[in-house]
Amino acid sequence: MKQIAILGYGIVGSGVDEVIREYAEKKRSGVTLSVKYILDIRDIPDSRVVSDFALIEEDPDVAVVVESIGGRGAAAEFTRRALSAGKHVVTSNKELVAEHGAELLALAKANNAHYLFEASVGGGIPIIHPFCQCLGANTVTDVIGILNGTSNYILTHMEQNGASFEEALKEAQKLGYAEADPSADVDGLDCARKICILADLAYGRHIPPSNIYVEGIGSVTTAHLREANKAGFTIKLLGRAHQAEGELPRVYAAPHMVAKAHPLAAVSDVFNAVMLRGSVAGDVMFYGRGAGARPTASAVVSDILDCLRSDDPLCGFAWSADPLDIAPPQNAPGYIFADGKKMRVLKNN
């Protein structure tokens, strides 16, 4: 039996615990999983709950640590300590991966452990492993994605129901799609972190989210959506990374006018989608629920199993901690709305 420790018992942590129980009941493979510890500072009525990480760090029975605390404070400290102790670490923490992924992958390798983060981009959509494994023979030049379910829900609600941004945001919060403080989602930072992770993998060097252009959806109005619709477009918050031959990469997150004939135009509600362009495979698209406890937990548990089954789940893929120089987004004319607002355009070619 493989023992697991979960750090943080919020939406993701409790979801992982639930999915592990379901997996154990199904007995789908020779790997049996069990949660031995839950690290949380709250008084949760569960005998597995502890408040001292040293208990987990020093327990030789714990094979995998699931980091679902979030942020870069305690999450970074405990991740480093777990990896240094030779324990595998699995996370959905896109902020930590985007800022310190190169360092943590190197630390994992040095201690014969794995650091896996499938759930950090796209929730339950398998994207990191296909990127590293199935597309391993490709040079990936372009990545385009709807990477934030909250923003996509808000824009969908505004377009389909005529709601204002403020009304759509309140509805997203009511349904649990948006946090009480939704700034990371609606201001584009969550999308920026995720496109940086994908760009790190594509280009092999660290791209700090603070170095890229980021624009959120707060200034998008129902009038913009109506005008876009009449012109044959919809509006989506996209993360984009592109590198033309002989040029610096361009990486950014911003609202785009998306042609209705483009595959990403039909991705609505809380769904996410990522399109990659490989030198051999051409265009490949991944689609599914990008948020929520169970989709995210699905990706986390898949990573746990990969840690225990494989000597190298990411097939050696990593990126250098040396920051990569990037070019600013192309200053194309794009589309100019009646009120003067400018927006980038994604056509169907």
Per-residue pLDDT at 27: 61
Q: How far is CA 314 from CA 118, 173, 224, 303, in A?
A: 10, 35, 42, 10
> CB–CB of 36/65 below 8 Å?
no
What per-residue confidence (pLDDT) applies to 272? 96
| pLDDT value at residue 348 | 77
CATH number of the domain residue 229 falls in? 3.30.360.10
pLDDT of 333 reads 60
Q: Which residues of the chain have pLDDT under 50?
A: none
Whether the CB-CB separation of 131 and 138 falls below 8 Å is answered with no
* Interatomic CA distance for residues 238 and 142, integer angstroms: 13
Helix (H) or strand (E) holding 34: strand 33-39
118 and 171: one domain? no
Owning domain of residue 137: 130-289+324-346
Domains contained in the chain, number: 2
- Residues 219 and 256 reside in one and the same domain: yes
Same domain, 135 and 96: no
Question: Which residues form the catalytic set?
Answer: 194
Residue 236 and residue 342 in one domain: yes
pLDDT at 61: 97
CATH number of the CATH domain containing 114: 3.40.50.720
The pLDDT assigned to 189 comes to: 97
48 and 121 together in one domain? yes
114 & 170 share domain? no
pTM for the model:
0.95
Same domain, 139 and 250: yes
